[in-house]
């Protein structure tokens, strides 16, 4: 009986150890599966967030040029204006219109016109890169730029950089060398006034029309347009 009792004790201990081993292995496998599933869920959430981010960004972008669109510019400019007022710093606007663009479309076709628009958007963006500017396609062949912390003389200098950048070399479009120039209107906002973005755009637009009236391929300010 003693030997049987000892044998049963050993057998019980072995079964208990085997059971603990099985339980531990099952727990480890479960933990691995949970960790794997958790990582998969995190990865899926990150991909979903990235997709939402791309979707949000695409809704802000112009499909042809890749620049911000007019709606997004309005929203971003409102924030820039509030910040400029809070910091008592200047904020300037550039209205840029490509000269005689209808003639390019009529003479070379709209595909060439689209290539010219993309080329101009790239050239303008490159010229503005050092100036922390907000650039958007305003519509058609027109672009709008917000220049933070730039007073009127500084904004005019930036506008002149943009104008010269466009005229330095022709655009290659559909096998043609297309010379592109732009008329640019410049306006510096009085941040102490209660003018909103529409008021500022209207003044900058008048400066743009003054540039067109003065022969195009030039820069004019809201003061010279008054």
The residues that are catalytic are: 141
SS3 letters across the chain: CHHHHHHHHHHHHHHHHHHHHHHHHHHHHHHHHHHHHHHHHHHHHHHHHHHHHHHHHHHHECCCCCCECHHHHHHHHHHHHHHHHHHCCCEEEEEEEECCHHHHHHHHCHHHHHHHHHHHHHHHHHHHHHHCCEEEEEECCEEEEEEECCCHHHHHHHHHHHHHHHHCCCEEECCEEECCCEEEEEEEECCCCCCCHHHHHHHHHHHHHHHHHCCCCCEEEHHHHC
**124 C-beta neighbours (distance < 10 Å), count:** 27
Distance between CA atoms of residues 208 and 214, nearest Å: 10
């Amino acid at each position: 009986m003693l030997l049987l009792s000892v044998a049963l004790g050993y057998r019980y201990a072995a079964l208990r150890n085997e059971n603990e081993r099985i339980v531990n292995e099952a727990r480890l496998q479960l933990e691995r599966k949970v960790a794997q599933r958790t990582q998969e869920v995190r990865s899926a959430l990150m991909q979903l967030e990235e997709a939402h981010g791309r979707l949000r960004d695409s809704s802000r972008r112009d499909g042809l040029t890749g620049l911000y669109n007019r709606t997004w510019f309005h929203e971003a400019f409102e924030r820039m204006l509030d910040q400029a007022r809070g910091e008592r710093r200047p904020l300037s606007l550039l209205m840029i219109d490509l000269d005689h663009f209808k003639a390019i479309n009529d003479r070379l076709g709209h595909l060439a016109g689209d290539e010219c628009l993309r080329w101009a958007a790239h050239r303008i963006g490159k010229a503005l890169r050092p100036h922390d500017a907000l650039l958007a396609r305003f519509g058609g062949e027109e672009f709008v730029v917000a220049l933070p912390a730039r007073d009127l003389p500084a904004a005019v200098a930036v506008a002149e950089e943009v104008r010269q950048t466009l005229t330095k070399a022709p655009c290659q479009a559909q096998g043609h060398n297309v010379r592109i120039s732009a008329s640019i209107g410049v306006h510096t906002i009085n941040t102490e006034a209660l003018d909103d973005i529409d008021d500022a755009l209207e003044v900058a637009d008048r400066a743009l029309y003054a540039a067109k009236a003065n022969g195009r391929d030039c820069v004019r300010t809201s003061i010279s347009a008054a």
